[in-house]
A and B are shown apart, each in its own frame.
Chain A
Amino acid sequence: MSAKSTLSDEPKSTGPGSARDGTDRDKYTLRLYVAGQTAKSIAAFANLKRLCEEYLPGRYKLEVIDLVENPQLAAGDQIFALPTLVRRLPPPLRRIIGNFSNKDKFLIGMDLKEGD
């Protein structure tokens, strides 16, 4: 719960556009699905937060959804694995599942880096 409540307070942190490939107009709308206040959830959120702050400062909006509280939201966004980050914007829609332990994979997923 605290993950959601504490984290949703700061969805729009704006900073200087420092992304290599992006422009200032790029806005990322991200939604992180987790299940409860578990160690896994917290670790995933911490990793994600760190990456966003580093590579998308001021350009992202992050919403955290706890499916234990809102199970009805799982089907709508086609969630089956947790944690899942849904990149709603910019298109195309992408899903990243896992705890974001791999920085390069995150950057590829955000189109911030070319895939191998």
Chain B
Amino acid sequence: MMKMAKRPDSNGHGLAKVPSGISGLDEVTNGGLPKGRPTLICGGPGCGKSLMGIEFLVRGATQHGEPGVLMTFEETQEDIRKNVMSLGFDIDELIRRKKIIIDHVKVDRQEIDENGEYDLEGLFIRLGYAIDKIGAKRVLLDTIESLFSGLSNQAILRSEVRRLFYWLKERGITTVITGERGDGKLTRQGLEEYVSDCVILLDHRTINQISTRRLRVVKYRGSTHGTNEYPFLIDEQGISVLPVTSISLNHVASQQRVPTGIPRLDAMLGGKGFYRGSSVLITGTAGTGKSSVAAHFAAATCAGGERCLYFAFEESQNQIIRNMASIGLDLSRYVKKGLLQFVAARPSLHGLEMHLGVMHKHIQQFKPTAVVVDPISNFISAGEERDVHAMLIRLVDFLKTLQITVLFTNLTTGDMARETTDMGISSVMDTWLLLRDIEIGGERNRGIYVLKSRGMAHSNQIREFVISERGIDLLDVYVGPEGVLTGSARLAQEASEREEQSRREALTVRKQAELDQKKRALDAQILALEAQFAAEKDMMLRDMGVERTREKTLENLRDEMGRSRRADPYSTTGNGNSSERTKR
């Protein structure tokens, strides 16, 4: 009672709620069930309504300090004990610790005669006694409709059931009432008319031979609540309503980057790899190497000392380890170290929700920093494409809140289907790598490119994707007039380019030699001419010297003659001529 006003509703209306403790249900109902009021859980046979009610009691007793009374009209205490044992609830221990009381109300038409007027005060007394005995805050009535088949005075039953709900409300007991689904009504006896606060409808459908449980909050007076159908599952840990976490877009966007395990791919993604906590999709046709990329990513995560969870929906753990060993990737050592965990299952084993729930559980237990889902395409076989989309959104949201990087592979068939099939999924993905076959020259090679990668400057280049016994390597491709060249064509292209290169080099060398030779010839010519010139110059200089000597000699001679003839020293020239003439 003290806690009555303790948990106001998030919408501020002050409607007190108590957490049911059922995984996911409190998110869907924005906080739990209406405190101190009855809630009707209805559905067909085997939909899980009793289990949900019991889990509500057990969680209350174990996690929220609220003891509970289970008033069962159909199953005995022994039946219930056995049923919930499979959910991991030790009900005997709770009974021993006075946290739970089970009271089986046996309504056997065979041994009951009705004679005149009666009321259900006996039920009130039993319930009140049990509630007081352990200070119960929660009550489960499962299934009170049994009274209607055991007794014939429907008018009395209706007014008494109404009075019972009112009585429980007066006492501030949070009550869950289960009811079997009836024709055109939520319950056979129209219990929904008496329970006006909260009505939850469970459904168990089998589509394409795969069963799916779903939950819908039909009514929740005075509170906002999720109105969709939410899948839920029942396993050895109880009930999980999905989404386990609320769907919202307020995840932390990490700046941290994680390596892809392929250095050249890191380079294509802005040089550093994926963002931590981002979602990565690898699509490609069969045999393009999607799993190999995924395995490299897993190995890189483990090599960094972090944990990676690998959901394999096509191959077994051993098969993957063997196959990756053949390309030089040793995954087994990470498995041994406990850093890598495989969860292998056929997609058709469960419905989508079960898969999602199983994945949630494994993720919560193993606490990885990276998750690989290989491949998601097989889920199409386990559900409708739209459901797969919804499931992946939930998974991605869940992983993003935990800052777990997730890598999905998706097998695509044919070029036409690819774009449309992937479009639905790709909007959820931050990074989309496309692996494709490139068929040229009678062989098939692999190409990889980054179709998109949010928040980073990524390469727009196609790289050839080579898988060898040393692992994955990305190579540049040749883009020529006929498109991208890969494999042998690329090798041929490389060879011919090399040949051309050497041819050009040889030509250059030859030209250079020619040039050198020409220069040498020219130099030689220049030298020869210079030599010739020098020779001529010497000759001429020598001639000039002889002449000058001779003239000097003649002059001296003339002077002497003049002196001897006492000639006039001023008329040298005339004298010279005459003297020369004379001399001759």
Contacts and interface: CB of A to CB of B under 8 A. Distances in A.
Interface string A43-83: 01001000000000000000000011001101100111111
Contacts of A40: 117, 119
A82 B112 CA distance: 12
B121 interface: yes
Nearest to B153: A98
Interface size class of A (residues with CB under 8 A): 20 to 34
Given A72-B129, A74-B125, A75-B103, A83 B118 contact: yes
Interface string B90-128: 000000000000010111000111111111111101101
Contacts of B80: none
A80 B129 contact: no
A64 to B, nearest CB: 14
Contact of A82 (B107, B113, B118, B151): B118
Given A74-B129, A75-B126, A109 B121 contact: no
Given A35-B122, A80-B120, A81-B151, A108 B113 contact: yes
Interface stretch (A5-13, A16-24, A87-95): A87-95
B147 interface: yes
Contacts of A80: 105, 107, 120, 122-123, 126, 147
A79 B126 contact: yes
Contacts of B106: 78
B488 to A, nearest CB: 86
Given A35-B122, A84-B122, A98 B117 contact: yes
A44 B147 CA distance: 22
Given A78-B106, A80-B105, A94-B111, A102 B125 contact: no
A28 interface: no
A75 B126 CA distance: 6
A97 B129 contact: no
Nearest to B160: A81
A33 B116 CA distance: 15
A95 B112 contact: yes
Interface size class of B (residues with CB under 8 A): 20 to 34
A33 B126 CA distance: 13
Contact of B111 (A95, A102, A106): A95
Contacts of A109: 113, 115
B122 A102 contact: no
**Considering residues A68, A78, A108, which has the most beta carbons from chain B within 10 angstroms of its beta carbon?**
A78
A97 B126 contact: no
Given A68-B125, A71-B125, A102 B115 contact: yes
A99 B115 contact: yes
A97 B126 CA distance: 16
Given A35-B122, A78-B105, A84-B122, A101 B129 contact: no
A105 interface: yes
B115 A81 contact: no
B367 to A, nearest CB: 46
A67 to B, nearest CB: 5
Interface in B192-225: none
A37 to B, nearest CB: 13
A75 B105 CA distance: 8
B162 to A, nearest CB: 16
A93 B414 CA distance: 75
Contact of B117 (A72, A74, A101): A101
A45 B151 CA distance: 22
Interface in B136-195: 147, 151
A55 B116 CA distance: 19
A50 B118 CA distance: 18
Nearest to B106: A78
Contacts of B151: 81, 97
B125 A35 contact: yes
B114 to A, nearest CB: 5
Nearest to A83: B118
A80 B128 CA distance: 12
A95 B107 CA distance: 11
Contacts of B112: 94-97
A94 to B, nearest CB: 6
Nearest to B150: A80
B125 A106 contact: no
A71 B129 contact: yes
Contacts of A95: 111-113
A99 B116 contact: yes
B167 to A, nearest CB: 13
B164 to A, nearest CB: 11
B111 A93 contact: yes
Contacts of A78: 105-106
Given A80-B120, A82-B122, A97 B113 contact: yes
The 3 closest A-B pairs by CB, nearest first: A98-B116, A101-B116, A71-B129
Given A72-B129, A84-B118, A99-B118, 13 more contacts: A35-B125, A40-B119, A80-B105, A82-B118, A82-B120, A82-B122, A94-B111, A96-B112, A98-B113, A98-B116, A99-B115, A106-B115, A109-B113
Interface of A: 33, 35, 40, 44, 47, 67-68, 71-72, 74-75, 78-84, 92-102, 105-106, 108-109
7 contacts: A67-B122, A67-B125, A74-B129, A75-B103, A75-B126, A84-B118, A96-B112
